[in-house]
Structure 1
Amino acid sequence: MQHTKSKALYEEAVKYIPGGVNSPVRAFKAVGMEPIFIEKGEGSKITDVDGNTYIDYICSWGPLLFGHGSPDILEGIQEQLLKGTSYGAPTAIEVEMAKLIVEAYEGIDEVRMVSSGTEATMSALRVARGYTGKNKIVKFEGCYHGHSDALLVKSGSGTLTFGVPTSPGVPADVVKHTLVCEYNNQEAVKALFEEHGEDIACVIVETVSGNMGLVPGKKEFLEYLREVTKAYNSLLIFDEVITGFRLGYGSSPEYFGVVPDMACFGKIIGGGLPVGAYGGRKDIMEIVSPCGPVYQAGTLSGNPLAMYVGKKTLEKLKNNPGIYKELEQKASYLAQGIRNNLKALDLELTVTQVGSLVCLFFTSGKIESYEDVKDCDLEKFNKYYKAMLERGILMGPAQFEALFLSTAHTKEDLDVTLKANYEALKVAYNK
């Protein structure tokens, strides 16, 4: 499989773009490769500039629940485009979109549209601090909530620690109010609240972590977060940028039976166009400008094209609830097939699956926190990744990414993927 044109584009790109890419994971550095430049996508397939076609499990990192270029999602978008791309003034479709989200998501009374998941989480934290009058926030090791300063934090050697900036350029003074706990660890959260609870504004959490591979939150852990935040008059924020409308039409409250005070969205609510949103109870959201003193604004918030595609996506999901069962069945078929291959090759690796998300970890044993995933054999994964790519399977170019299933993936796609998986595992482990 040749990547001559991709290589030439990359050599040109590095002259003008940091690292030649506009988001770090696209650089393929984690798997020791240069990036692949994409020409087009259709259904479950994606084609690069060299004409190589792959079965795509990136799906734009989750938004493309119906695959690339779904005709019923894109129908009418040209007409919408010709009306204008942005107005800087309200539109009816923003109202319709907000109503769909509020009606679908238990606990959300009002929602504010923004342009990215990072913007959504950053804004939600500001609102939480403004509402509670408190300073500290709690996040969990391995959970990624975008690249805003207060959230770009890693933990120290323990499970309970003050935040340390993950990136140069993030002042220590900014993250001194960010506390980090081990994911799925109730005792660590309890200890943290006993020490700092009176000044904790909120807890922000991915209900299913999709940024350290695929690590499901335990129901009892999420229930405890709900209990402890209520006890200390803190807010519970679900980061649903990945899971929102992917776990089910009712998202995490429906899936886990736990209702947060606020939630953040992205990806699926834009159907592949740039989008984000945050929402919460009415009394919380009405402290946001222009109703209240907490300021947040955005020139392209509620962009009519993103709202159009997002609305079509949510309406299709609302009117076809069987889609979620179909997606889960496909993901289960893929996950079980990988487990069967591992057994046949006598390999003790771990596969996780939640709804339409799947991950193969190059380590063994339970997967519940960052501690469990950090010892993955990255050298073996990199060999595996390149072997999968050579066989026409495109995955996120890092061990700590999930596979995203779409309705466009067929049984034939899954069978081709499982055959490639078996062969690539043999390559990685010299079997």
Structure 2
Amino acid sequence: MALVTREELLNRLQQRYWETHPKSADYFTKSLRYLIQGGSHNLRLFSPFPFYDVRAKGARVVDVDGYSYLDFWQGHFSNILGHNPDFVIDILKEFFDQGQGLITGFPSLYQRKLAERILSRIPQAEVVRFTTSGTLASMYAIMLARAFTRRQIVFKVGGGWHGAHPYGLKGITRFEAGLRSIESAGLPASIDQEIITVDFNNLEDLEEKFARYGERVACLIMEPFIGAGGFIFAHPSYLHRARELTRHYGALLILDEVVSGFRFHAGVLQTLYGVEADLTVLGKAIGGGMPVSAVAGKREIMELCSPQAPPELRVKFEGGTFSAHPACMLAGASYIQYLIEHEGEIYPRIGQLGRLVRQKIEEIFRENGFLVCCTGGEEQLGIESSLVGVHFLRQELTELSSPTQVFNPAVSDYLAREVIFKLALLEEGVNTFHGFGAISAAHSQEDIDQALEAVEKTARYWRKIGFQLKEN
């Protein structure tokens, strides 16, 4: 049997997608006149074009061509409870019916409620300040660290994603330079010297970098659970050593929990590790589907945001016109309260479904002759995780533990995961991201069974046509 190459299979999938999604294709083509690549966020603009949604509820999303998809993208993994939960919609409707909800420029009564609920779940944090995106929150956290320590160098994990700001645009996905290169134009040349990447879950590299730069390091910013870099948990020994080294050298530890905050339990992941960050960055789930992000931390650091801070140390953390937007604060406060009150019902169930999906996908592909590794689980701490990453491997691995493996084309086939597999599952009515994505409380066992049937159908078809994961 002649082998089907990656390019041939991709062409087939794209051709069928064009044929079966005429309304989305038309909308996309017309959007190109007004919008770069037809939209405003590159992750949403997958190849050959995105489908355009007209309705999203619970576990499903419906597009303009009438297709209903099981959705595991779930608002960039924000939607712990699924799309548009009724109680949030009802609360916002009532708020708007009262003639409230649009920006006023005054402090919202609800921001204190959201702050109280968040801080009740982060014992080491004393105060919080809100803004509108994870990008802004992580940028402000780094600015605070540099001001507080009066140092310049920032350590970040190679393959870590902290948003599109100058301090985060080095070492993201470009493997050619070992996840150590600047990945955006328009930045000052000094950024390359001020941002130093460290290898995730590599204690030797972490020790060496601190030994070399330690006295000049303002902070280490990292995700305890790597999101875009592969759905990988930090080894407990790595995270604890990061805390020890930052303290030893007088640097701050910033934990970016935009993805992990309120994803694995009604709180932050660092608590499950027994690690306390100096500053914690939050986003996604804390807004209840609305644009909210935050920096939480120790008062002595956060006070540098105050107008009363010494001028030479003051950080202009102003948040933006729409920071602490009243409707966003109300939605977030209501959502977080719900997660806290229903923690025992929500998290064990979706975590167990995540474990099932990871196990089954690996079994399905290996039975059909493909090397596949699913990430998103954590064995050492026993965390039940509802996130599932799928990686098509080109070599056997004992463990996939770092973005340096995820983005190495000799190890993992990124195109197969992000494009080919995605289009194949879309044909079966399943929308995925990073190979699979996030399970929400709205997903039923029947939904999971349907998704796994789609995976099995895809794997069998690939085996039938002789598709192989090879460089061509």
TM-score scaled to structure 2, two decimals? Answer: 0.86
3-state SS in 1 of match to 2:276 = coil
Match for 2:201: what amino acid? N
Match for 1:309: what amino acid? A
Q: Is 1:342 the counterpart of 2:359 in the alignment?
A: no
Decide which of 435, 441, 451 is 1:407's aligned counterpart.
441
3-state SS in 2 of match to 1:164 = coil
Decide which of 30, 34, 56 is 1:12's aligned counterpart.
30
3-state SS in 2 of match to 1:260 = coil
Specify whether residues 401 and 303 from structure 1 end up closer, same or farther in structure 2 by C-alpha distance, changes over 3 A only. farther
Match for 1:59: what amino acid? Q
1:330–1:405 CA contact under 8 A, matched in 2:
yes
1:183–1:370 CA contact under 8 A, matched in 2:
yes
Q: 2 CA distance for matches of 1:356 and 1:44?
A: 14
3-state SS in 1 of match to 2:66 = coil
Could you tell me which residue of structure 1 aligns to residue 70 of structure 2?
A: 55
Q: 1 CA distance for matches of 2:248 and 2:391?
A: 37
Task: Give 1:308 shift.
Answer: 1.2
Moved more, 87-96 or 408-417: 87-96
1:383–1:428 CA contact under 8 A, matched in 2:
no
Could you tell me which residue of structure 1 aligns to residue 100 of structure 2?
A: 83
Q: Is 1:358 the counterpart of 2:396 in the alignment?
A: no
Task: Give 1:245 shift.
Answer: 0.7
Task: Give 1:347 shift.
Answer: 2.5
Q: Is 1:70 the counterpart of 2:85 in the alignment?
A: yes
Query: What are the within-5 Å matches in structure 2 for residues 6-405 of structure 1?
Result: 6-29=24-47, 33-81=48-96, 82-154=99-171, 164-292=181-309, 293-297=314-318, 298-322=320-344, 323-354=346-377, 355-363=385-393, 364-365=396-397, 366-374=399-407, 375=409, 376-381=412-417, 382-396=419-433, 400=434, 403-405=437-439
Q: 2 CA distance for matches of 1:170 and 1:336?
A: 43
Moved more, 166-175 or 13-22: 166-175
Match for 1:64: what amino acid? N
Task: Give 1:127 shift.
Answer: 0.4
Deviation digits for residues 23-46 of structure 1, max 9, x if unmatched?
A: 0111113xxx21111111011000
Match for 1:332: what amino acid? R
1:109–1:281 CA contact under 8 A, matched in 2:
yes
3-state SS in 1 of match to 2:322 = coil
Q: 1 CA distance for matches of 2:279 and 2:327?
A: 25
2:160–2:171 CA contact under 8 A, matched in 1:
no
Match for 1:76: what amino acid? I
Deviation digits for residues 301-359 of structure 1, max 9, x if unmatched?
A: 11111111111111011111211111101111211221231243232210112311011
3-state SS in 2 of match to 1:104 = coil
Q: 2 CA distance for matches of 1:337 and 1:368?
A: 20
Q: 1 CA distance for matches of 2:163 and 2:435?
A: 15
Q: 2 CA distance for matches of 1:66 and 1:50?
A: 26
Task: Give 1:291 shift.
Answer: 4.1
Match for 1:412: what amino acid? E
1:383–1:427 CA contact under 8 A, matched in 2:
no
Specify whether residues 84 and 37 from structure 1 end up closer, same or farther in structure 2 by C-alpha distance, changes over 3 A only. same
3-state SS in 1 of match to 2:62 = strand
Q: 1 CA distance for matches of 2:414 and 2:148?
A: 43
1:388–1:421 CA contact under 8 A, matched in 2:
yes
Which ranges in structure 2 are unaligned for 5 or more consecutive residues?
1-16, 378-384, 467-472
3-state SS in 1 of match to 2:301 = helix
Q: 2 CA distance for matches of 1:409 and 1:110?
A: 35
Q: 1 CA distance for matches of 2:317 and 2:354?
A: 38
Task: Give 1:378 shift.
Answer: 3.8
Which ranges in structure 1 are unaligned for 5 or more consecutive residues?
none
Moved more, 244-253 or 372-381: 372-381
3-state SS in 2 of match to 1:350 = strand
TM-score scaled to structure 1, two decimals? Answer: 0.94
Deviation digits for residues 388-422 of structure 1, max 9, x if unmatched?
A: 110000012xxx46611100000000000001001
1:115–1:274 CA contact under 8 A, matched in 2:
yes
Specify whether residues 38 and 207 from structure 1 end up closer, same or farther in structure 2 by C-alpha distance, changes over 3 A only. same
Task: Give 1:189 shift.
Answer: 1.3
Task: Give 1:134 shift.
Answer: 0.6
2:155–2:220 CA contact under 8 A, matched in 1:
yes
Q: 1 CA distance for matches of 2:40 and 2:388?
A: 26
2:230–2:403 CA contact under 8 A, matched in 1:
no
Could you tell me which residue of structure 1 aligns to residue 7 of structure 2?
A: none
Amino-acid identity (%): 29
RMSD: 1.7
Deviation digits for residues 139-179 of structure 1, max 9, x if unmatched?
A: 011110000012101288777x9x63211112222342000
2:151–2:216 CA contact under 8 A, matched in 1:
yes
Could you tell me which residue of structure 1 aligns to residue 11 of structure 2?
A: none
Q: 2 CA distance for matches of 1:291 and 1:53?
A: 54
Deviation digits for residues 281-312 of structure 1, max 9, x if unmatched?
A: 11111111234222111211111111111111
